[in-house]
Amino acid sequence: MDCSQLNIASLNSGSNGNCYFVGNKQDAVLIDAGISCRLTETRMRRLGLPMQHIRAIFISHEHTDHIKGVCGLASKYQVPVYISNKTLLKCRFELPSYLLRSLSDQQSVQIGELTIFTFAKHHDAAEPYSFVVSCGETNVGVFTDIGRVCDQLTNQFKRCHAAFLEANYDDELLMKSNYPYFLKRRISGGSGHLSNQKALELFMNHKPAFMTHLILAHLSAQNNCADLVQGMFERHAIDTRIIVASRHEETEVYHINGPVTRFKQHTIFEQAALNSF
């Protein structure tokens, strides 16, 4: 049985910068690079993650909190940047063409033993994408900056052994905030961000039994509360560990083993049947 482990960590998550690490023992990618090169290096070093294992950076969209560290990282470590054509036009990166790779919807990119699958999402950006990173039979989703849940997101969520999932705001806190009306509409209007409740509905209705870790990401500093959203999800988590990613520091590294996880889901009777073969 293939038992390909993926190691995952949030290096930062929030409107001040987003950067997510996914990799195995020799190959890794960063999904977005919204913090500085120096801060990325510092946080990876604290986690014991070698920068030399980063083989590529994948960009979800052009907003500053997802791209501000891209040029520094790509130039220093000479790693390619995978980005859609429309997003690249918005970013205006000062990078040589040999470091740029075109990215399209429904594309699978092979990076060493990793496969990165892209698909379109609803967000107020030029050409925004979500990602599923796979190694062998293990799948990790990166689903942030999502205005609303679509069929494609639901289908991809169902195959994930772990996921970074946006839970940006609490509806009541947003409505009571001092944000101007247009900004409240932008956040909650279907092309902005995913609320706690909508993220929870996705989790409750479509979480696969083999999902071991859910990292709640991109929480609003003003319109959410880590304890609030963690409690909401933990009431329905069963065997899934719930982690809230910080906007100020890295998470620990979590080790995701897809086939092992599925094996543990067998009942006693199912396992007896398996052992009889």
Residue 270's Cβ-count burial label (10 Å; 0-12, 13-18, 19+) is: exposed
**Residue owning tokens 């918005």:** 90
pLDDT in tens, 9-36: 999 999 999 999 999 999 999 999 999 9
So what's the pLDDT on residue 272? 37
Its pTM stands at: 0.92
So what's the pLDDT on residue 263? 36
Sign for the pseudo-dihedral over CA of 90, 93, 94, 98: negative
So what's the pLDDT on residue 273? 37
Number of domains in the chain: 1
pLDDT beyond 60 at 95: yes
Q: How confident is the model at residue 4 (pLDDT cuts 50, 70, 90)?
A: confident
- How many beta carbons lie within 10 A of that of residue 27, not counting itself? 17
Residue 238's Cβ-count burial label (10 Å; 0-12, 13-18, 19+) is: exposed
So what's the pLDDT on residue 258? 82
| Distance of alpha carbon 229 from alpha carbon 244, whole angstroms | 8
pLDDT in tens, 169-206: 999 999 999 999 999 999 999 999 999 999 999 999 99
So what's the pLDDT on residue 271? 38
Q: Is-contact 246 13, C-beta < 8 A?
A: yes
pLDDT beyond 50 at 124: yes
Domain around 168: 5-275
**Single-letter code of the amino acid located at 260:** V
Query: Average pLDDT, stretch 79-106?
Result: 97
| Distance of alpha carbon 135 from alpha carbon 254, whole angstroms | 15
User: Which of 68-72, 209-213, 234-238, 255-259 is the least confident region?
Assistant: 255-259
CATH at 230? 3.60.15.10
Q: Mean of the per-residue pLDDT values for the chain? A: 93
Query: Average pLDDT, stretch 251-264?
Result: 74
pLDDT beyond 60 at 111: yes
| Distance of alpha carbon 118 from alpha carbon 58, whole angstroms | 10
CB proximity list for 85: less than 8 A, separation 6 or greater: 102, 127
Long-range contacts of 229-235 (CB under 8 A, 24+ apart): 229/167, 229/170, 229/196, 232/196, 232/200, 233/167, 233/200, 233/203
Minimal CA–CA distance to 66: which of 114, 150, 127? 127
So what's the pLDDT on residue 3? 52
pLDDT in tens, 32-85: 999 999 999 999 999 999 999 999 999 999 999 999 999 999 999 999 999 999
Query: Average pLDDT, stretch 208-217?
Result: 98
